[in-house]
A and B are shown apart, each in its own frame.
Chain A
Amino acid sequence: MIAEIGHYAVVLAFMLSIAQGILPLIGAHRNDTALMGVAAPAACGQFMFVLIAFCALTYAYVVSDFSVALVAQTSHTLKPMLYKVSGVWGNHEGSMLLWILILALFGLMVARFGRNLPAGLRARVLGIQGLIGIGFLAFLLFTSNPFLRLDPAPFEGQGLNPLLQDPGLAFHPPFLYLGYVGFSMAFSFAVAALIEGRVDPAWARWVRPWTLVAWTALTIGIALGSWWAYYELGWGGWWFWDPVENASFLPWLVGTALLHSALVVERRDTLKSWTILLAIIAFGMSLLGTFLVRSGLLTSVHTFATDPERGVFILGLLIVVIGGSLVLYAIRAPMLKGGGLFAPVSREGALVLNNLLLATATAVVFLGTLYPLALDAIGGGKVSVGAPFFNATFVPLMVPLLIACPVGAMMAWKRGDLPGVVGRLKVAVGLALLVVLATVMIDGNTDIVAALAMGVAAWLVGGAAVDLAERTGLFRISLSDTLRRAANLPRSAWGTAIAHSALGIMVAGITASSSWQTERIQIVRPGDTVELAGYEVTFKGAGNVPGPNYTALRGTFELTANGRRVTMLYPEKRDYPAEKSSTTEAAIHTTPIADVYVVLGDSDGKGGWATRIYHNPLVPWIWAGAIFMAIGGMVSLSDRRLRVGAPKRAARKTPVAEAA
């Protein structure tokens, strides 16, 4: 009964999305207030019904209703409650429903908080959201219905892939989708602007917060996924340039470029056409990722029973949504007139450079991800494009971006003073050189590239600190004045500084963990001690331990430093009988400056166990950097100028911000 309610709610939401997708657009065209007025209630209703459907599916998972085919295929009564709930989106159909729920949520937010938008723009944005909703609800109803019944219902479900029964991965998809779908807002605003033929600073002030929400969520989502890969896959890697990873990274890269270019539109009323294009591409990349992952075109060896219908459907959706908007762009973009002029050396110039490098980086990842597929499609043979390719092409592109970042952030609008900015950054330059020297001294092997990369990391953090110090007059004026200035500093300035220094933290983590990782691979017997990086790891033994829906083989290791016990480590190999598969759980001891990472391997049958022990310096900084980046995004979002509900107060600018 509950499943039928869910199914029915999806049908109603589909009907409402049709109303929302058509009537307001006609209304906006005819300037008909009544028709435009349909948009908001339709969006609210759509959200309500999708929420009902989502709750119905969640209920079916929670009570293990195996008469619902999807639940029978992907759940199990013995599964812990957390994974029963996260199992809702641990499959194609359920994750599509979550996607639609988030889409409807964004529609609701525009309907609820968008009352101060010009009526035409608001109707158009909601109308376009409605059109996207039609596409995805139709996709769900006609190719991926999660509410199909199974008769007779089995007594027990087939269980969820054990790799997904993990806290990191349980919340990875919601954040990822919040990011993907969040870009639909920027997209809808872009298309609405193209229809209206105008983009003004107020438009950019509307787009920026939505983009920030999406970008922040995507940052968290990608970080969660990478963290999961780090502790779950068992060899200490955290990013593999896997096509599926790249599919989530592409919208992030474009979204980052969009955040920066929208700033230029907002402040200087120029770069409009490019920003519109980025908004379209950001959402396009989100859809592309969905297409690639769900059509089965990327999962080469892991062929699974893909329904070709789904691939065709999403491709059709992609062509209508992205192809259609790009055609509209080709027709309308030349009408958008640029505003403010600027010299090449200026904040605008720096942001253009940022966009150029990010766009090229996007092109590298895009080409690398899709090239094997495209070459195979035209009969050109099979190639592999893996981590070595991306490391050789993507990383060099990031170097100028990272070096230019602090300089650009301090550059004045319109016409900047490069020597002046570099002069003001001398503290950061000094810090960077100091770090390079210190790294060379500590690291006996003098890995000069790594030392320079650490210098770049310090440069980013130092640059952000100098920027804040300058804006608050730190050390130049009295401390109380500084604090007052700091309090008055726009939140977006804080957000920028936090996010840019977070980038530095991340660069340090990436550099250190990939350059100075130490590794010990050996057979150990109980009592054996392995030394690495100032630690001793002693193997105490291994034995079986029962889990809720698995049995684990657990190793016991004692971690000591200079003979003093630090902690005990318990790596596991888990066997999931229902799902007939197993996982490896690394045991990790995290300190602020390094991880000790222990993995239990196979028994050699003679009382010895294969073990892998890693010392990963600064690896926690990678995720700390990602978290700070997201915090930077949230702080920016709290800026009153960008507050979702109050975009138009932006005319008020604090004098401090202007002075900087």
Chain B
Amino acid sequence: MRIFLFIAALLAAPLCAPALSPLAPSEALALQPDEILKDPALEARAREISKELRCLVCQNQSIDDSDATLARDLRILVRDRLTAGDTDTEAVDFIVERYGDFVLLRPPFKNSTLILWIGPGVIFAIGIFGVTLWHRRRRVAVAAPVAPLSADERARVDAMLAEKPDQ
């Protein structure tokens, strides 16, 4: 539960909601030596999966980074599933079945996450479109004769550009 980042920490929040006790008595560092699998390939897969799963009792922290007991249990569970022969997807699905999409730090592409996933692309497309349109319009507009600055405006601009700074 050490993760509170900068300003969250600034606000000196108590560690957890009073009605909830997400911590078991002992507190430990994120990944523990005794959890690591002998098979490096399997362990590497477990690490990758762990980074994608949210520690439910922490704020925006993966189970790989978390000290919470539940995170440790989930890390061991992931390793057990992999050892038992699960594919990565099966191991993740096993946990999603119990905890829902909320455990996925990369939300699945669904109706409810449509705007999240396609929003940036749409914004980029609108941007490209807007810039093209603007550019084309500008070319047409400037092709037509441009009204020159009025004498008054001219004088003001000149004055502003020529004026020496006071200090």
Contacts and interface: CB of A to CB of B under 8 A. Distances in A.
Interface of A: 74, 89-92, 95, 113, 115-116, 118, 160-161, 163-164, 169, 172-173, 176, 200, 202, 225, 228-229, 233-235, 237, 240-245, 247-248, 293-294, 298-304, 338, 341, 344, 352, 356, 359-360, 363-364, 367-368, 371, 375, 380-389, 392-393, 397, 521-523, 581, 583-584, 599, 601-602, 610, 612, 645-649, 651
Contact of B167 (A116, A235, A344, A382): A116
A244 B5 contact: yes
Contacts of A389: 105-107, 116
Contacts of A304: 11-14
B40 to A, nearest CB: 12
Contacts of A248: 6-7
B54 A371 contact: no
Contacts of A299: 4, 8, 11, 13, 59
A247 B103 CA distance: 22
A366 B120 CA distance: 10
30 contacts: A92-B10, A116-B163, A161-B9, A163-B9, A233-B2, A233-B3, A240-B3, A240-B5, A242-B5, A248-B6, A294-B11, A302-B13, A302-B15, A303-B13, A304-B11, A338-B138, A356-B127, A364-B120, A368-B116, A382-B102, A383-B101, A383-B102, A387-B105, A388-B51, A388-B52, A397-B120, A584-B29, A599-B29, A610-B32, A612-B29
B59 A385 contact: no
Contact of A303 (B17, B34, B116): B17
Contacts of A521: 31-33, 36
Given A302-B16, A384-B105, A202 B6 contact: no
Contacts of B138: 338, 341
A522 B32 CA distance: 8
B104 A384 contact: yes
A-B interface, 7 closest residue pairs, ranked by CB to CB distance from nearest: A386-B105, A304-B13, A388-B106, A601-B29, A302-B13, A646-B165, A360-B124
B41 to A, nearest CB: 13
B57 interface: yes
Contacts of A522: 33
Nearest to B103: A384
B29 to A, nearest CB: 4
Contacts of A388: 51-52, 105-106
B119 A293 contact: no
A241 B123 contact: no
Interface string B43-62: 00000000110100111111
B65 interface: yes
Nearest to A166: B9
A396 to B, nearest CB: 10
Contacts of B112: 375, 380-381, 383
- Of the four ranges (under 10, 10 to 19, 20 to 34, 35 or more), the interface on chain B belongs to 35 or more
A200 B157 contact: yes
Interface of B: 2-17, 20, 22, 26, 28-34, 36, 51-52, 54, 57-62, 65, 100-107, 112-113, 115-116, 119-120, 123-124, 127-128, 131, 135, 138-139, 142, 157, 160-167
B68 to A, nearest CB: 10
A371 B160 contact: no
Contacts of A367: 115-116, 119-120
B2 A583 contact: yes
B12 A90 contact: yes
A385 B17 contact: no
Contacts of B13: 299, 302-304
Contacts of A381: 101, 112
A160 B8 CA distance: 13
